[in-house]
Structure 1
Amino acid sequence: MAYRSILAPELFQDQTIIVTGGGSGIGRCCAHELASLGAHVVITGRKAEKLEATVAEIREDGGNADFEAFDIRQEEDVAAAIERIVAARGRIHGLVNNAGGQYPTPLEAISKKGWEAVVASNLTGGFLVARECFKQIMQAQGGAIVNIIADMWNGMPGMGHSGAARAGMLNFTETAATEWASAGVRVNAVAPGYIASSGMDHYDPDFARKVIPKLSRLAPMQRMGEEAEVSSAICWLLSEGAAFVTGSCIKVDGGSSLGIKAFELEAHDRAPRYEGFHRARRPKALDVDR
């Protein structure tokens, strides 16, 4: 089997695209799709083992990929990694700022250390990677950046640290789109809603068992999203078809961000679904019938 992308074959032929957090979840899916469309993908993360496994998958499928293991929160490590990628590839055409993470807890229980760790992962790290890509190569040769945020509209109760960081990343996206446009750099964002991703398996088992199976009923589409449905939006924003799109955010959330309160959502099973990722892994918390 191969990735069933809706986009044109060879769309990113011979382009170099970085995907942070590319060893699992949405990042892994996006790396596969980009490689299937001809890109040479460089995935990044902190754990080399996960990155090696994803690179092996991509190569087995006939794609081109490498990895760089580093912590996006460490400024010097980020600068050095981008320098190595530029030296090896000559250019960086695109960046998918996907790496991040959070844990569920109420605001009053979040320590300063916990707050700063989540903000560093979901905001500061993304800024550092984007800044280095811009300074080291994109300022001279242009490029496209897509920042992955979240459904944090109307607040993010239970994950306030992540909501604040993601909101900051959206504002960073808009600011960078303005400041970097004269260099031929486009900067956009994608905000996934509740996505059936392997990242859900990192949550506390009790939380995952009680909360995650209920999420499909919180959106008008009455289901959870697929990783491929997020990846297709990311890939389009990176493509020449989105050449006049910058400073924008695409919500891939089945309508969950609409904040519907007075209208009771009707249960149904009529929502269309796109399952293009041939190596998708369903979260253990969703090992129930759809």
Structure 2
Amino acid sequence: MEIAVLGPLSARVGQASVVPSAAKPRQVLALLALNCGHPVSVSSLVDELWGDRPPRSAEATLHTYVKQLRRMIGAALAPDDPRGPRDVLRRVHTGYRLDGAAGGTDAAQFERLTLAGRSALERGAEAAASTLLIRALGLWRGPVLADVALGPVLRAEALRLEELRLMALEERFGAELRRGRHRTLIGELAALTSRFPLHENLHAQLMLALYRSGRTGQALEVYRRLRHVLADELGLEPSTQVRRLHEALLRGDPVLDSPAAAPRGDLAPPAGPGRGREDVPMPTVPGSPLPVAAR
């Protein structure tokens, strides 16, 4: 069974799709797919489908949806397959479990690759880190479960994965900046800062990439725009780290020219599309009070 959730929902047994067209059975399959190999409780499935106002018949209706999914799986299984649909979609003590995806889902593969990329980055292996992170990001085909109506449980998991995607992007940009590939990042960073106008780390990475490409005026304009948006939307100034980067740009501090000056320390937990990893101090270049916003 092949399952993909990083984009439109896809679940195939052999060449046959087992994704139902009806919205609620599709939600059930999506939640089981995101937890492939692990049980999903009946209460979680009911919460996903009906929120805090389930009908009296919620569990019976849920069982009907599971029967529909099993029928589709049974029709897709090869005649000589020793498994039956109940082996693929199992009833367990607390709820249901979807089995049969030997390689795991694309989401599980994405998380494995990003962890490996982060480990390589911490070791200073920027080329390997960049390769692994590019592979991880290449698994995405669009927003998580782009063609599924998201209830509260799926929405929370989709948000978690989208934040991990943003974190992987930041780490990939950091690896490329350390390799001196600043020119190739400007377009992507410009698009992302437009999409996430409050995200300070991405703006700092764009400022550094522009500065190293001989475009200091544009780097300073990125800072001006960020400061204006933060003030208008949140009533805040940019973080101390970003302000110091701005001051270094104004001075033309030579430490900014060296890709080796980028931090190699511990990476912070995933950040949402807001102010970035503001709760974790940005590392400083040894021997200088200047933080380098390059990851």
TM more than 0.5: no
TM-score (normalised: structure 1): 0.25
More helix by percentage:
2
More strand by percentage:
1
Point out the structure with max Rg over C-alpha: 2
